[in-house]
Amino acid sequence: MAVEHRKLGATGISVSPLCLGAMMFGAWGNTDHDDSIAIIHAALDAGINFIDTADVYSRGESEEIVGKALAGGRRDQVILATKAHGKMHDSDPNRFGNSRRWLVEEVESSLRRLKTDWIDLYQIHRPELDTDIDQTLGALTDLVQAGKVRAIGSSTFPAWQIVQAQWAAEKRGRERFMCEQPPYSMLIRSIEKDVLPVCEQYGMGVIPWSPLAGGWLSGRYSKGGDSPAQSRRAQMIPSRYDMTIPGNQAKLEAAQALGEVADGAGLSLIEMSLRFVTSHPAVTAAIIGPRTMEQLQSQLAALESPVLPAEVLDRIDEIVPPGTNVNQADTGWDAPWLSDASQRRR
């Protein structure tokens, strides 16, 4: 199967329209390292050349599994991305965040776990308001100049912070974020209002996470089928799957309606969901996160034809209007003054 490759923003790097996300490899998902490695190899054999992980995924175990999978000559053919920011120690407040102190230390740990000399895309996993963005960009610039990192990016940054980072890089002569990794799916479309236009304006690549909306678009939740409240993810994040919450009930109804659109188009809901994300002109690749080989195989069809017909996109827009989230709580990252009343009214 011939796989279309797309440029990752202005980096000059070419990647497949699906990126293999490794969050489910390790204690958070598939604890069998050999099985996880087999899934990684199957994805590469199918034409995926882009892998994304993070230090915080199973506290480094995901990176270790990816490192083992790429040993033996596969590393050079893969565009390898990882992220830093997440809490890597229960009691040490400095083993976390976007500070120069932590990034310079943690990149070495990621390189060791990944068994590589360089990281193609090193991303800041979430914003951190009490760390000057220039401190973060200064550290990342030094890592690029040292050859440890090829390009840098952000993840789940709101549009105003993406712009702030671009301005800081220009003003101080720093490396700039070349890529953004936001949440995006047929159920979670708010980034169409501002994040995606901003990324296009700055020539940034976009690699959305959770194109299946945390399993809501997996096709499991048809009428009379399984309830989201019984899912494996519901044990990890109960509020996201609590069916007494009106926003979650609305997601279920929208997912069922979208399933009917997929049936009418001769597609699985999974394939339509992935192709919806990669149809947007600002998007470079959608990040898939399989835990099993069966899940991977169900998603690979979107590699062959990553763009949906206009009439299917129109039907999707009728169910979930552009720029909206079905459940307004699905934002990926909220500024603390929205979620913490003590900060909102201080």
Q: Is residue 13 part of a domain?
A: yes
Any domain includes 1: no
Q: Is 14 helix (H, G, I), strand (E, B) or coil?
A: strand
Residue 63 pLDDT exceeds 80: yes
Residues 137-171 have pLDDT tens digits of 999 999 999 999 999 999 999 999 999 999 999 99
Sheet holding 18-21, edge to edge: 205-206, 177-181, 149-155, 119-124, 79-84, 50-52, 18-21, 286-288
Alpha-carbon distance 211 to 320, whole Å? 14
Residue among 201, 198, 205 nearest 12 (CA): 205
Q: Do strands 79-84 and 50-52 pair parallel, antiparallel, or not at all (unpaired)? A: parallel
For residues 175 and 137, what is the distance between their CA atoms, to the nearest angstrom?
7
pLDDT (tens digit, 9 = 90+) per residue, 83-112?
Answer: 999 999 999 999 999 999 999 999 999 999
Average pLDDT, the chain: 94
Q: What is the four-CA torsion angle of 247, 248, 249, 253, rounded to 10 degrees?
A: 100
Whether the predicted model's global pTM rises above the 0.75 cut: yes
296 within some domain: yes
| Percentage of the chain lying above the pLDDT 90 cut | 85
Distances (CA, A) of 128 to 131, 172, 189, 261, 330: 6, 19, 23, 40, 19
Show the tokens assigned to 68: 């083992």
**pLDDT band for position 176 (50/70/90)?**
very high
- How many domains are there within the chain? 1
Task: Tell me what pLDDT residue 222 has.
Answer: 67
Q: Quick one: pLDDT band at residue 185, thresholds 50, 70, 90?
A: very high
Q: 334: pLDDT confidence band, cut at 50, 70 and 90?
A: confident
User: Would you list the DSSP string of 286-334?
Assistant: EEE--SSHHHHHHHTHHHH-----HHHHHHHHHHS-TT-BSSTT--S--
Please indicate, yes or no, if residue 174 is contained in any of the structural domains: yes
User: What pLDDT shows up at residue 136?
Assistant: 98
Q: What is the pLDDT of residue 224?
A: 63
CA 338 distance to own-chain centroid: 23
Q: What is the CATH number of the domain that holds 296?
A: 3.20.20.100
Angstrom distance (rounded) from CA 338 to CA 344: 6
Nearest Cα neighbor of 54 from 106, 117, 129, 89 is: 106
| Dihedral, CA of residue 251, residue 255, residue 256 and residue 259, to nearest 10 | 170
Does residue 278 fall inside a structural domain?
A: yes
- When pLDDT is cut at 50, 70 and 90, the band that residue 220 belongs to is confident
pLDDT over 80 at 78, yes or no: yes
Dump strand ranges (E) for 8-49.
14-15, 18-21
For residue 56, the enclosing domain spans 6-344
CB atoms within 10 A of CB 173: 9
Helix intervals (H) in 127-231: 133-145, 159-172, 195-201
Band of the pLDDT at 345, cuts 50, 70, 90? low
Q: Name the band, by pLDDT with cuts 50, 70 and 90, for residue 47.
A: very high
Of the candidates 57, 122, 184, 241, the residue annotated as catalytic is 57
122 is an active site residue: no
Residue 28 lies in a domain: yes
Checking if the pLDDT of 339 tops 80, the result is no
Task: Decide if pLDDT at 217 tops 80.
Answer: yes
Amino acid 76: pLDDT: 96
Which residue type sits at 160? W
**323 falls within a domain:** yes
Give the per-residue pLDDT at 168: 98
Q: How confident is the model at residue 225 (pLDDT cuts 50, 70, 90)?
A: low
Q: Examine residue 338 and state whether it is found in any structural domain, yes or no.
A: yes
* Residue 260 exposure: Cα atoms within 13 Å on the Cβ side: 9
